[in-house]
Structure 1
Amino acid sequence: MLPDLAELLADAHVVALPMRVRFRGITTREAVVLRGPEGWTEFSPFVEYDDAEAAAWLRGAIDFGWTAHAPAAASVPVNATVPAIDPGAVEDLLARYPGCTTAKVKVAEPGTTIADDVARVAEVRRVMGPTAAVRVDANGLWSVEQATAALEQLAPFDLQYAEQPCRTVPELAQLRARIAGLGVPIAADESVRKASDPLAVARAGAADVLVVKAQPLGGITAARSVIAAAGLPCVVSSALDTSVGLGMGAFLAAAAMSPGYAAGLGTAVMFEGDVTADPLLPTDGRIGVRRVDVSPELLARFGAPPERDAWWRARLARVHAALRAAA
């Protein structure tokens, strides 16, 4: 079902949430939260994505807001997320993730070196101890040669997996074969959520783990179909969502994520503010599986400037028109 545009806009709010540290090159996360018959939902494709790619995100928002989804568990385990920060800031950052025993560490940040990445991962391992699960995420920014060299230096820290070390599926397959002796599994993220065929990476034998995100895959219903067809362990992660979008991810993680992995849904910690007075922050290493109610006061406090509000509403209208035409 595709609601009318007027129904989508009837209770839609554009917010701009300040972030504690720079992440994915941004310091403010913009999003649209809107209310459907089943509760609040979120439309927040990154600003650089074109309308065709944003269409899946709108399908995801509609799926969550206009479809009843029963929670399959009360809570799900989540990982700490460590941006490309100096090692000296790692311990304070990890303290914001109480009870988390898994950490995802950003690597390959433009302007940094492999030595910087090694120092950051080493500090995470030191602070969290030998039994913690440590992941690294390169966002596809390494070549096969760079990834091989980097993972040879990072492998001694006992990585749970390396997420999207290279950009393309053929590169991932080549890297996976090349580092087979290192014991570092390869996880695919962008090769799933940004691909026209999200299962291509699994069919190519290019990854050991799939990272799935509810909004970019078209919502909980569509993402569960991808997970079921992939035949690989899956980790549900966020796309820097507000707590409304994190709720969407939590429902998906509770229903379909592989045991033994923590979800990447603890990212509300990264924001200075949120759209709700009861954000989905980690407690004892977990977040609740629930729909989030927004706060009118916080919507007003973090409301986007008028020109950005107009930009997002125009974008929503264009993407809705594209979905209407496709339907």
Structure 2
Amino acid sequence: MTLNNSASTFQLTGFQGMEKAHHWIFIPLLVDYISILLGNGTLLFLIRNDHNLHEPMYYFLAMLAATDLGVTLTTMPTVLGVLWLNHREIGHVTCFSQTYFIHTLSVVESGILLSMAYDRFIAIRNTLRYTSILTNTQVMKIGVGVLTRAGLSIIPIVVHLHWFPYCRSHVLSHAFCLHQDIIKLACADITFNHLYPVVVSFAMVLLDFLAIFFSCILILKTVTVIGSGEERAKTLNTCVSHICCILVFYVTVVCLTFIHRFGKHVPHVVHITMSYIYFLFPPFMNLVIYSIKTKQIQNGILCLFSLPRSGA
């Protein structure tokens, strides 16, 4: 097999059959895009500059915010270009790079949610040793491990995309490049690219979810033996935000997977809409959840945007 040197491009697609409404669809997506950029950017700024937030929990939250920013910045520029400017052409290398970052960041997000579950588990089960177990160095090692695991796991399928010849229609079904969309256009044996993502999904995302679920059970078991109801409520409250983010991410993953795998007779617009929900809903909701449920984040936002009072 030789490297595909074709200079041809792929054609991105917006909402098929709704081309006249593209400009109207563009507006709410642009608002969501700007909200995610400003919100997660503000969150990163707060965690970096507020010394009260220099704790493992907030470092992991910063990783989650950075991942959400990465997902949004990777997908939305081409989406908005298609909807507003009808800019549909995308080169092979650019498309494969976008594919790599989209799928890598999805695995990264799963790993960060697992790390956050581990953080809450240590904080509740080993409260006195929390700071000695999760030091800054340890948090950094976990972050690098999550990123390395995701980056290396996606490389094989993306490398294969560069080698495939594309002799069929070059029209993709989304306004961004997804692996499962690209391989449908390949004129080659794509068995590896069909099977490998299933293995990765099982070995990483599914096992991450099971580990998170198991840690939540152990946390609940620990909480039940805490003496006062007030202490139980306070302890549980520290986990509510994380549980909500886990549900948002994994529910969208499951819904998108089922629609792609078993929704052959589902209208195409449903497939497209679910893809946008998958890429935009978690980044937006993670921001909302932590802003509402985390008092330290609320205080930081209020301090950041409050006007300085002049002396009397």
Compare relative contact order (CA 8 Å, sep 6+) and give the higher one, 1 or 2.
2
Q: TM-score, normalised by structure 1?
A: 0.26
- Higher helix fraction (1 or 2): 2
- Higher strand fraction (1 or 2): 1
Q: TM-score, normalised by structure 2?
A: 0.26
Q: Choose 1 or 2 for highest CA Rg.
A: 2
